Structure 1
Amino acid sequence: MKHLAERARQVIPGGVNSGQRSIPGLTDLVITHAAGARFRDSQGREFVDYHAAFGPPLLGHNDPDVSAAVAEAGRTVDLCGVGVTAGEVELAETLAELVPSVEKVLLTSTGSEATFHALRVARAATGRRLVVKFQGCYHGWHDAVSLNVISAPEKVGTHDPISTGILPEVLQATLVLPFNDAEAVRRAFAEHGDDIAAVILEPVPHNVGCLLPEQEFLETLRAECTRAGSVLIFDEVITGFRHHLGGWQAISGITPDLTTMGKAIANGYPVGALGGRADLMELFSSRPGGPAFFAGTYNGQPAVVAAALATLRKLREEPVHEHVFRLGERIRTGLAEVFASLDIPALVTGYGSVFVGYFMTGPARTYDDLLRNDANMFIGYRRRLLEHGVFELPLNLKRSHVSYAHTDADADHLLEAAASAASLARGDVLDLTDASTMGGADAHR
């Protein structure tokens, strides 16, 4: 019988159903079981999982409370495609209660859909053409924002699409600015402010690891958008609920006009959301007469809604954030000590449950700073971690995550493995000619 991975490649392009899932050196990875902080593959290998599917399972894989809620939903209600369910109402009320910017909210199936609709309604509301995004931020697969995520040095400062097949005129309607550069924002608004429909950003650009935002930068965005009548969109698909129940906007005190959410809402079940000012949200055609079309057969699917409600309930009632923040800080501190003891240049950073070790010196304020990262060491180190049963995605600049299911023993094991992996990786010379090896965006969004 053919190996499952080989069979997959016969009928699925590349053998996987989303970009970034086929990893050089791990092309025969077939997942057979996942629970808590671990997964197993068809070869019987078990890994402590710090990749966590780019971040959704904040509670850990197959959380029993979430699974029970999904099973109960399957016994009581199904997708009917008309009206609304009690669960949808409760979830919308919960999101409006938790997230400062959310007055009204609509559910989607993915984060990409949420950001797509956010840009569409911003243009509908303003009648303007231009969108501003930032180098290193990823907002999904749609054309207007499919550019300038992980760019080669010679591509920074130019339009750098992540896909072919995008119309040049679509790309020309997107302005790309450096993250954390308040002066660049002011210049862009001085020149184009009357035609800027929206500014969209990850408040923490986690698609390149972790660039923490400077408060002046966020305040400038809010002030310039308010002055010009542009829509400020926080893409909190990653930061929402993992960093705070109210998202990064609750941490920073900067309230956007629209917020997109996903990933940690439902602990791995496919849900996204778009919420914000009522006057903007009322423009969608979910309200009869709304001029901005909005639809999705699977929006508000009962099992997914049940997963979201169970996840948010647990986040509110149990010390999830306390646990993952403590472990995250312990891991960041421990990794910095390990690399220093080996005299390996490294910058370990992150926030809360997210950690990443760049192999470079100096600060990490902007994407330009990350061009100093030693990609050979970054990827080689993570490949060596696999030998110790530790899974951090072996692609350049990818972040790692702690879940509620991880333990202090898991952290101890990671730090022990890190010392061995880093020592061995110093002597590895990798073939990084394959662009996919260099890393990309969270293509499953």
Structure 2
Amino acid sequence: MSSGPVPLAERARTVVPGGVNSGQRNVPGLGDLVITGTGGARFRTADGREFTDFHAAFGPPLLGHNDPDVARAAAETGATLGHMGVGVTEGEVLLAEQLVELLPSVEKVLLTSTGSEATFHALRVARAATGRRLVVKFQGCYHGWHDSVSLNVISEPAKVGGHDPISTGILTEVLDSTLVLPFNDSAAVRHAFAELGSDIAAVIVEPVPHNVGALLPYEEFLTTLREETRRAGSVLVFDEVITGFRHDLGGWQRISGVTPDLTTLGKAIANGAPVGAIGGRADLMDLFSTRPGAPAFFAGTYNGHPGVVAAALATLRKLREEPVHEHVFRLGERARTELRELYARLGVPVTVAGYGSVFVTYFMDGTALDGGVPRTYEDLLANDAARFVGYRRRLLDHGLFELPLNLKRSHISYAHTDEDVDRLLEGTEAAVKAVLAEGGADDLAHASTMGGAEH
């Protein structure tokens, strides 16, 4: 006797480890989440539910899911131009010209398929240029899956200050070549360079560490990075995979006025299509083997894929011609302001942080923090992870989706409306009241609340 068709999620677990294709997609407590449709500010699941999406795939679709202009451009190009894997296309040239025009640090640029590839190549070419071994990264920053930077993102308190790899299988020698410093600590940077500057090949930083929500940088911290790397002859890399285009067409480097040597970008270039880029000083970029005889090997089967490039060109066109940033910044500011008012009315101590279209509510008293917002990873250790994850799980009951993992940020897109923010506020109030009534989310006892990292 037939028991009926096997559910798709169960079939997935049979042939895909864990049933998902990326480590942060299998979220404890969500059950079987099978996505069947996306559009604008919403997505649908196989069990017939629809959610207003404030997670937005970790942020890349700034225009919203399946933006019709971007989808049309990719489809039209794909109908006439396939991927050759040799030579160059007009679209690749046009995209590179725009990236050079928009980003202050970029004199030349190469396309990749992911942000992780871009940061990998940035560190490789920095070592090629300097002949040095060490790389500096900062606690709370995520730069992709490769070994040199796969450490110290969301760390438990006892592991802050030492090496905290996010994976097994990384050679100790590789970890030993990476120095981990506290974000926003200029004194620690100066001390590291005074002691080891002659062996530091590169400093890589998220100008705003969005993989732990939103830690806004001190201006003096970024200028210290610039001064110390320049003095030591090290390469300064801004990882703008998240901040690039979402916060400004010129990235955080244009907002801050601090120009790095290299910049890495990700899928936000193409509203979520699989593309990344590395760009920067011409003398560094000319070390890549795309220039015959150059020493730093660079390759990628899908680099510059015509359909993806077309999506990127359509995305940039819309970002430049329409009031995208004006819209998402206004809604983002409204969400942050009214969330603060909501929690004050409920008597729940929180710190609502963010920038532009990004918002995040930390369940911690911010009155003692500088400016009322967290500035370091150590500040974030006070966040009540159970409440953070618990209210987000209960948002699902109200048709709202914010990723229920500790410290993860949320996003506004061009497709979101004031009515969506209204629903966010109403659902948040109901969800938080439910968590409070249950005494702190006892159902989280077996869930991972430390979270993880992904661009």
TM-score (ref. length: structure 2): 0.96
- What is the CA RMSD across the aligned residues, in angstroms? 0.7
Q: Which residue of 2 aligns with 1:368?
A: 378
Contact 1:432 1:438 survives alignment (8 Å): no
Task: Determine helix, strand or coil for the equivalent of 2:353.
Answer: strand
Runs of 4 or more, structure 1, over 2 Å off, are 430-435
Q: Residue 407 of structure 2 aligns to which amino acid in structure 1?
A: L
1:438 equivalent in alignment to 2:436? no
Q: Secondary structure at the match of 1:113?
A: helix
Match of 2:31 in 1: 27
Q: Distance in 1 between matches of 2:98 and 2:280?
A: 13
Aligned residue for 2:23, secondary structure, equals: coil
Identify the residue that residue 248 of structure 1 maps to in structure 2: 252
Alignment of structure 1 residues 101-250 onto 2, 5 Å? 101-250=105-254
SS of aligned partner of 1:211: coil
Give me the whole-angstrom Cα distance separating, in 2, the residues matched to 1:195 and 1:43.
55
Deviation at 1:425, TM superposition (A): 1.2
Whole-angstrom distance in 2 between the partners of 1:385 and 1:259: 36
Q: Distance in 2 between matches of 1:219 and 1:33?
A: 44
Whole-Å Cα distance in 2 between the matches of residues 438 and 147 of structure 1?
14
Secondary structure in 1 matching 2:398: coil
Question: How many Å separate the matches in 2 of 1:243 and 1:278?
Answer: 25
CA distance in 1, matches of 2:267, 2:190: 32
> Percent identity at matched positions?
76
What is the identity, as a one-letter code, of the residue corresponding to 1:372? A
Of the three residues 73, 88, 98, the one matched with 1:84 is 88
| Secondary structure class of the residue paired with 2:110 | strand
Q: For the residues of structure 1 that align with 2:48 and 2:54, how far apart are their CA atoms?
A: 18
Compare 21-30 and 292-301 and name the one that shifted more. 21-30
SS in 2 for 1:438: coil
Q: CA deviation at 1:432?
A: 4.3
2:275 paired residue among 262, 271, 278 = 271
3-state SS of 2:236 partner: strand
The alignment covers a number of residue pairs equal to: 442
For residues 319 and 94 of structure 1, the distance between their equivalents in structure 2, rounded to whole angstroms, comes to 18
Structure 2 CA distance for partners of 1:95 and 1:27, relative to 1, 3 Å: same
Gaps of 5+ in 1: none
Q: Distance in 1 between matches of 2:214 and 2:445?
A: 22
Query: Residue 282 of structure 1 aligns to which amino acid in structure 2?
Result: D
Q: Secondary structure at the match of 1:70?
A: helix
CA distance, structure 2, for counterparts of residue 398 and residue 153 of structure 1? 17
Q: Provide the residue aligned with 1:429 in structure 2.
A: 442
Identify the residue that residue 385 of structure 1 maps to in structure 2: 395
C-alpha deviation, 1:263, in angstroms: 2.6
Offset of 1:130 from its aligned partner? 0.2
* C-alpha deviation, 1:191, in angstroms: 0.3
Return the offset for 1:76. 1.5
Deviations 1:117-172 (A, max 9, x none): 00000000000000000000000000000000000000000000000000001000
Letter in 2 for 1:409: E
CA distance in 2, matches of 1:84, 1:221: 36
Q: Following TM superposition, by how much is the alpha carbon of 1:178 offset from its aligned partner in structure 2, in angstroms?
A: 0.2
